[in-house]
Chains A and B, each alone.
Chain A
């Protein structure tokens, strides 16, 4: 690549940032060339966000310098950084949904005419030009609230292009995008790159990084671990730099002796969400549910957990038919659900770790009329040790923990209920790669110790890694069921796209 002899668009040198008691960044250097996609990787807490906050003017470094071209610069504030051509596309969208696309793009800096009147003609013309540059399929007058998430992200990007951007930082941009929408985003990134803009791309997702980046810089524990040319490296090397060891993402090859049927579902339907679903899960078995978003996997889990009322079908636990009308019923029957979205469904973020873990059973942990402190702390200690939850103490607010530790709190919460059937929906969404493998191993261990486990996941390697059997879903129906030996990427992809192989439909 010819970019290597160019001068960096942006260069950070020897950045040190300390907070009381923590050296968050320890002499980190990083540069991005014009027309380069430079991925920044590291586990949660490795220092990526602190580095970006220094770059964006939210933090001032204790040591080190920032250069734009040859000029040393000081980023005084986010506005200052943007004025100098450093623009952030944040993971969380910050748009005014009731305003038009054009107003959002120029929010706070609308072009003016005399007496402070907005120059609407210029506003629509300028924003229209930017949208055209991004190949957007919508116009400047569209209401932002009417756009899809992916198109809202385009508006965020358009906003970045109102200044002469030298470097654009994408922070986990694909977190809420579908595969088709990702393709569009990558095209936009490719266009920006062709226009000579330097791109910093932050993501946990290896396949994306390898698809679009030119170089990869890895941080670990606030320190610079190295920069690799994407073309000359592989996932394993990057992972080793990130977590200091290799990661086992091999397929599940264990053959666990399974026990009795713990859960059986016969002809279960819930309106249009899913129809005529039948399967069984044995003790000591992990059944993976794989499919596209909207295939009905989460809805089945929610029905089993009493959050939805089935329109037809039966649920049997240990051979006996049960009726489940609420999460309370489900819990009483020994079903636990680790939900898909841990922040909105799994945790009370403002509560401490202990109280979150004991929440479903707090009514039973009593001494007289009061909650027994001792019993609660005993449960917390047990699952902190068993799941290796990293927190200073039980009083820590769950919202302050890393994603991986938060997920372990949710898992601990449900393990402590000693369920017969454990359903885990998207076990590793949004958590870093090290914690990911810990959680995979944990799920395998749970099966070995006799739990019947259902894992719902949108990540194929994950499903193949943890499952004894994989059930593929498409459009509310079970398509096929594979054993761990039968399953391959090809037949799985076929099954979830609605294609049946040799007419075999499970």
Chain B
């Protein structure tokens, strides 16, 4: 029956809605400008999305467990400034672990507040957004941070180098995505993250230590932020102390675009990667089409909302069928 086939198409769209939307965008932009799908352009987009992407990987865990993390942007500024500053004071080999330790400490603080004290994650991370910004400004004395001897350090190799023709940031993004994807999909911890986000009460009634699981999601998130800060610092070897400002919304957009529910309990690392790529390719595509820079903000968000609508509508089955 034609009706059945429509249902099947509907069910397929419901599962893969965002992937379909992604393909439609790609085809549309590719038709508008052939350069869009050239290998160097594609690699360029992925590389410039990598920092956002690394942060989105961690936030995926937080969102699936049913919480938010709005502090990642300002935390990334912090990591970047700290590692640049310590680079000249301690040398890169010590600066990197020291920066990771400090960033993880911030993640642990958030994890403690949200996980163990059960404070609302929106409030806590919004507060941390601003508190960490203040911390960064205090730390840097409000100045920009630069590595003194840019030519004489191997530090830049992480963000600027490449292995077998694959740029460093893409490699790290890919590797981290793989590890975290397997962690989420295949380990007991990953299962517990879904359970806590899907139904926290039922998780507790099943003997799952909810507080510890939530705590760990913020540790993972801050680890990803530290990695992003490292990439950012290494690529630019100098930075303003507002480098990550506003990224938290792009990160959240990528995670939601990927189809993770803000209510928790659903989403995957792979889908987040797709969300990150959509975001990157939209911005790149608009640039190639020749849209004025400021207009891009508007168009980007119009497209994001359209994509999410398509996804939600397909899940509800409302586009193709009148019955919910």
Q: Which residues of A contact B (CB under 8 A)?
A: 20-21, 59, 305, 307, 326-328, 330-331, 337, 339, 344-351, 355, 359-360, 362-363, 365-366, 369-371, 413
Contacts and interface: CB of A to CB of B under 8 A. Distances in A.
27 contacts: A20-B1, A21-B4, A59-B323, A326-B209, A337-B205, A339-B205, A344-B201, A344-B202, A345-B201, A345-B202, A346-B202, A348-B203, A350-B199, A351-B194, A351-B198, A359-B191, A359-B195, A359-B203, A359-B206, A360-B206, A369-B186, A369-B187, A370-B182, A370-B186, A371-B187, A371-B188, A371-B191
Contacts of B209: 326, 328
Nearest to A355: B191
Contacts of A360: 206-208
B188 A366 contact: yes
A346 B188 CA distance: 19
B296 to A, nearest CB: 36
A365 B188 CA distance: 8
A348 B191 CA distance: 11
A355 B195 CA distance: 9
Given A20-B3, A362-B191, A348 B265 contact: yes
Nearest to B182: A370
Nearest to B7: A20
Nearest to A364: B188
Nearest to B186: A370
A327 to B, nearest CB: 4
Interface string B189-227: 001101100110111111111000000000000000000
B205 A362 contact: no
A207 to B, nearest CB: 31
A362 B192 contact: yes
Nearest to A330: B207
Nearest to B204: A327
A420 B209 CA distance: 22
Nearest to A349: B199
A327 B194 contact: no
Interface residues of B, number: 26
Contacts of B323: 59
B74 interface: no
B270 to A, nearest CB: 17
A359 B199 CA distance: 12
**Which label, helix, strand, loop or mixed, suits the secondary structure of the A interface?**
mixed
Contacts of B194: 348, 351, 355
B188 A362 contact: yes
A328 B188 contact: no
B108 to A, nearest CB: 22
A369 B204 CA distance: 23
Given A59-B323, A331-B207, A347 B188 contact: no
Contact of A348 (B7, B186, B198): B198
Nearest to A338: B205
Contacts of B207: 326-328, 330-331, 360
Contacts of A330: 207
Contact of A350 (B1, B182, B198): B198
B268 interface: no
Contacts of A347: 199, 202
B188 A344 contact: no
Contacts of A349: 198-199
A346 B205 contact: yes
A351 B203 CA distance: 12
B186 A350 contact: no
B271 to A, nearest CB: 15
Nearest to A363: B188
B204 A348 contact: no
A350 B265 contact: yes
B71 interface: no
B205 A351 contact: no
Contacts of A369: 186-187
A148 B12 CA distance: 45
B79 interface: no
A348 B187 contact: no
Given A327-B204, A327-B207, A360-B207, A348 B199 contact: yes
A371 B203 contact: no
Given A59-B323, A331-B207, A344-B199, 12 more contacts: A20-B3, A348-B195, A348-B199, A348-B203, A355-B191, A355-B195, A359-B203, A359-B206, A359-B208, A362-B191, A362-B192, A363-B188
Contact of B206 (A20, A21, A413): A413
In the A-B complex, the 9 residue pairs with the smallest Cβ-Cβ separation, listed nearest first, are A348-B198, A327-B207, A370-B186, A363-B188, A348-B199, A331-B207, A359-B206, A360-B206, A362-B188
Contacts of B7: 20
A328 B41 CA distance: 52
Contacts of B195: 348, 351, 355, 359
B266 interface: yes
Interface string B44-84: 00000000000000000000000000000000000000000
Nearest to B205: A345
Contacts of B199: 344, 347-350
Contacts of B208: 359-360
Contacts of B188: 362-363, 365-366, 371
Contacts of A328: 207, 209
Contacts of B191: 355, 359, 362, 371
Nearest to A18: B3
Nearest to B266: A350
Contacts of B192: 362-363
A348 B208 CA distance: 12
Interface string B288-324: 0000000000000000000000000000000000010
A344 B265 CA distance: 14
A360 B192 CA distance: 9
Contacts of B186: 369-371
B205 A20 contact: no
A346 B201 CA distance: 8
Contacts of A365: 188
Contacts of A346: 202, 205
A227 B4 CA distance: 35
Contacts of A371: 186-188, 191
A327 B323 CA distance: 42
A413 B191 CA distance: 15
A363 B188 CA distance: 5
Contacts of B206: 327, 359-360, 413
Contacts of B1: 20
B63 to A, nearest CB: 14
A199 to B, nearest CB: 28
Contacts of B202: 344-348
Interface string B1-34: 1011001000000000000000000000000000
Nearest to B3: A20
A20 B187 CA distance: 37
